[in-house]
């Protein structure tokens, strides 16, 4: 594992904070390295998460904003227990994700993965029935929530087959499935890709509504700065670390910038400077375009 630790959140480093009960998710000193499966490239590792700290409070929306390839999905998959860190600590709803009895993954978490994981041979109604059965939502409660979600998300009638829906409609079904059982932790990996601006705002309004109960935490990843700005806490992610983590207004104030794009640019340059100085194994930064952060895969 590389020993380079380019940046991170300095004021939340204490490992004692992992047992903070007001937090739905705590990540401390997280590192994740992918090892190549190729026989010819076995020595080459890819350090995707590099000493990352993150805290998600109950009753808040956490917007995880970063360029394509910065490690958002890898982090999310570790939080829901679908992937394991190389080192570091994660507490999701007080337990270790993936550990027996932790309940994660499980019904306590509503997870919308980036890749679609629906059954194309099911109708929309059967999909809701199946996931409702897995999470304990049945009968009148299921019928009521199904019709509410179909209407809210502008979906076709429940007899329509999932395999015959458009990609955007399938993403909305996947979003509905994550919401169906009203879990205390909702993790949405790029739910607004391919969603029109009216529905996108409706979706954000809904997330703000459900987190207002003071109990439900939402983590949402996105490339879009203007929508992430609505989150209570914003994590600005780049090359496997959080460059900043705070309320959007406090981030602007602290860095004396007029926009999140400017903060991103400023902190990206500082991170690149620090990295070059340490001659670490990361390359030059991408400059974020206005309104959307750039692609890091090709860096
Ligand atoms: N299973 C895997 N094996 C090897 N490398 C992987 C694997 N999954 C992701 N990566 C690499 O890890 C890096 C981060 O990928 P990740 O999907 O976490 O980024 P992201 O920020 O979610 O990107 P996007 O916004 O495009 O979804 C990329 O360089 C990717 O190629």
Which positions ≥6 away from 163 have C-beta within 8 Å?
Answer: 120, 121
Say how many Å lie between the CA of residue 185 and the centre of ligand 1.
Answer: 23
Q: Closest ligand 1 atom to the C-alpha of 83? A: 1
Q: Whose CA is nearest to atom 1 of ligand 1?
A: 34
Q: Closest ligand 1 atom to the C-alpha of 237? A: 21
Q: Whose CA is nearest to atom 26 of ligand 1?
A: 68
Q: Whose CA is nearest to atom 2 of ligand 1?
A: 34
Q: Percentages helix, strand, coil for the chain, rounded to the nearest 5? A: 35, 25, 40
Annotate 221-282 with DSSP letters as a single string. EESBHHHHTTSSEEEEEETTEEEEEE-HHHHHHHHT-SSHHHHHHHHHHHHHHHHHHTT-S-
Q: How far is residue 254 from each of residues 38, 150, 238, 248, 267, measured CA to CA in Å?
A: 45, 42, 19, 10, 12
Distance CA 143, CA 125 (A): 9
Query: Residues 72, 234, 201, CA angle at the centre, nearest 5°?
Result: 90
Polymer length in residues for the chain = 299
**Ligand 1 pocket by C-beta < 6 Å: which residues?**
34, 46, 48, 66, 68-74, 114, 297
Query: Residues 252, 65, 256, CA angle at the centre, nearest 5°?
Result: 10
The tally of CA atoms less than 13 A away on the side-chain side of residue 228 is 33
Q: Which of 48, 53, 47, 49 is nearest to 10 (CA)?
A: 53
Q: What is the ipTM of this complex?
A: 0.97
Q: Whose CA is nearest to atom 6 of ligand 1?
A: 34
Q: Which of 42, 46, 52, 222 for mutating ligand 1's site (highest number of atoms within 8 Å of CB)?
A: 46
Of 28-42, 58-72, 140-154, which gets the smallest average pLDDT? 28-42
Q: Whose CA is nearest to atom 5 of ligand 1?
A: 34
Across 135-146, average pLDDT: 92
Q: Residue 28 corresponds to which tokens in the numbers above?
A: 């401390």
Across 37-62, average pLDDT: 84
Say how many Å lie between the CA of residue 78 and the centre of ligand 1.
Answer: 12
Query: Residues 285, 112, 212, CA angle at the centre, nearest 5°?
Result: 95
pLDDT tens digits for range 50-108: 999 999 999 999 999 998 899 999 999 999 999 999 999 999 998 888 877 776 777 78
Distance CA 7, CA 274 (A): 8
Look over the chain and give the mean of its residue pLDDT values, rounded to a whole number. 84
Residue 5, φ and ψ in degrees, nearest 5: -130, 80
Which positions ≥6 away from 106 have C-beta within 8 Å?
Answer: none
Q: Whose CA is nearest to atom 3 of ligand 1?
A: 34
Q: Closest ligand 1 atom to the C-alpha of 70? A: 21
Q: Residue 100 corresponds to which tokens in the numbers above?
A: 């027996």
Distance CA 202, CA 193 (A): 14
With beta carbons less than 8 A apart as the criterion, state whether 41 and 268 touch: no
Q: Closest ligand 1 atom to the C-alpha of 295? A: 26
* Dihedral angle of Cα 238, 244, 250, 256, to the nearest 10 degrees: -70
Q: Which of 47, 74, 75, 242 for mutating ligand 1's site (highest number of atoms within 8 Å of CB)?
A: 74
Of 88-102, 200-214, 242-256, 284-298, which gets the smallest average pLDDT? 284-298
Which residue in the block uniquely carries the two structure tokens 């996931």?
A: 131
Distance CA 227, CA 159 (A): 32
Q: Whose CA is nearest to atom 9 of ligand 1?
A: 74
Q: Would you state the pLDDT for residue 147?
A: 93
Which residue in the block uniquely carries the two structure tokens 């209570």?
A: 232
Q: Would you state the pLDDT for residue 37?
A: 67
Q: Whose CA is nearest to atom 30 of ligand 1?
A: 69
Whole-model pTM: value is: 0.85
Can you list the alpha helix ranges (DSSP code H) found in 161-213? 167-179, 197-211
Q: Closest ligand 1 atom to the C-alpha of 297? A: 29
């Amino acid at each position: 594992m590389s020993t380079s630790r380019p940046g991170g959140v300095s004021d939340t480093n204490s490992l004692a904070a992992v047992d903070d009960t007001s937090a739905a998710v705590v990540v401390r000193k997280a590192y994740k390295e992918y090892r190549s499966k190729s026989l010819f490239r076995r020595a080459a590792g890819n350090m995707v998460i590099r000493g990352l700290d993150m805290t998600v409070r109950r009753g808040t929306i956490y917007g995880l904003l970063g360029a394509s390839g910065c490690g958002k999905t890898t982090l999310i998959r570790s939080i829901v227990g679908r992937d394991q860190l190389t080192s570091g600590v994660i507490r999701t709803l007080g337990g270790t994700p993936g550990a027996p009895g932790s309940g994660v993954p499980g019904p306590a978490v509503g997870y919308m993965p980036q890749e679609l994981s629906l059954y194309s041979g099911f109708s929309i109604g059967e999909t809701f029935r199946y996931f409702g059965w897995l999470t304990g939502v049945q009968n009148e409660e299921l019928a009521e929530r199904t019709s509410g979600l179909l209407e809210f998300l502008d979906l076709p009638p429940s007899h329509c087959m999932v395999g015959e829906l458009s990609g955007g409609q399938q993403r909305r079904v996947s979003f509905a499935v994550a919401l169906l059982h009203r879990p205390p932790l909702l993790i949405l990996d790029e739910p607004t890709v391919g969603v029109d601006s009216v529905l996108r705002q409706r979706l954000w309004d809904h997330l703000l509504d459900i987190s207002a109960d003071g109990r439900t935490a939402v983590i949402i990843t996105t490339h879009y700065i203007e929508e992430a700005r609505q989150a209570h806490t914003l994590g600005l992610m780049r090359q496997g670390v959080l460059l900043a983590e705070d309320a959007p207004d406090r981030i602007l104030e602290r860095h004396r910038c007029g926009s999140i794009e400017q903060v991103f640019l400023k902190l990206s340059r500082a991170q690149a400077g620090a990295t070059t100085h340490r001659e670490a194994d990361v390359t030059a930064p991408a400059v974020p375009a206005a309104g959307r952060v750039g692609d890091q895969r090709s860096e």
